[in-house]
Amino acid sequence: MEALAAHVRSLAQSGDEKQRKDIIDSLRSLRNSIETSDDTVQRFTFYNMQLAGLRIGINLKLFELLAESKTPLTVTQLSEKTGADAVFLARLLRYLASFEAIKETDKDEFSYTNITKTFSQSGFQAAICHYFDNAGPAMQSLPSFLASTNYQDPTDCTKTAFQKAFNTDLPAFEWAKTQPERIRVFQEFLATNRAGMPTFLDAYPVEERATATELSPERVLFVDVGGGLGQQAIAFRQRYPALPGRVILQDLAPILQHAIQHPSVEKMDVDFFAGQPVKGAKFYYLRNIFHDWPDEKARIIIQNTISAMATDSLLLIDDMVLPNVGVHWQAAQLDMQMMTTLAARERTQEQWYALLEGAGLKINRIYTYTASLKDSIIEAVPASVHG
């Protein structure tokens, strides 16, 4: 068994992102095919407990303590460092070790694993906090919410399982504005989400498209619409420092006040539902914007962008483009999450064409840059100009 495991590790380390994902999925299918019914029930029914255990471990800073220690730590040592009761802590540590979030090295003695190192990092801790604190209650409310609507597909962002869970009439994004700590955690989660994975800059031919038309230092080269903290705008400017033109990060003022400072990236307070004030930019870039909104709202954003575009402008939509058949489980669960909290969706290729063409755009090409999630750049232009 060890030789087989070593061979699998070697294959994963020597392959690309797609091969590594394929190996993980094959192992997952193998596990599903050999476990008993009891194994299956035990695995699924305790997923919530795993998330709760990780959340508690983050609260107690257990993962940082273990990852930073050169030697294993005892329950007594960890109790002294965290202030948690030793009897309780021993139970929690044994549970975390049971699914390899940490490693049990001896009786009442623990060290770190690869998972420990992941959750010792603030950005990945934020992912657990976001999904436990914000998404978790909505997920728990989803079955009863859907039953109350006779299982209709949610299309109104003010009528989702999120409103039921948090007893609010506000859309999730509006409600979040009243919760500054939750916003902070969410933004930190987004900043590290998909860390280490390819980005749109690895797939999209920026220089070829940019230099096909006239650029100038005064013209806006790249507008990051709803760009959050600005990671993508900064990455664009750093990858292409010689391309002339301004780079602008747009978002709402409460978000921009936390944005990363960069001397070559301008910040602009913009509500993309109210209009696009930057006219004639070369690239209008929207990353993970449309998956947050149902089609009706998405069409407003598209129309506002079209009205600002020049004849040589390009709209770049950085979002998942799911296959019409055989959606990967990681993408499918994100689609369910968008439905649960925002009445939105991760769209299939067929749904993207229907949305964009119906809103007056023509899709030039789709560039896919991740294997499982199908993160892609959709390059589109106004159909009225390029029809």
Q: Which residues are catalytic?
A: 291
Q: How far are the Cα atoms of 54, 99, 130, 298, 335 from residue 51, in angstroms, in the given order? A: 5, 11, 11, 32, 20
CB atoms within 10 A of CB 83: 8
> For residues 343 and 340, what is the distance between their CA atoms, to the nearest angstrom?
6
Rounded-to-10 torsion of CA 88, 135, 335, 196? -60
> For residues 262 and 229, what is the distance between their CA atoms, to the nearest angstrom?
11
Angle 283-285-288 from CA coordinates, rounded to 5°: 170
Q: Alpha-carbon torsion 154, 378, 187, 337, what sign? A: positive
> For residues 219 and 229, what is the distance between their CA atoms, to the nearest angstrom?
23
> For residues 287 and 320, what is the distance between their CA atoms, to the nearest angstrom?
10
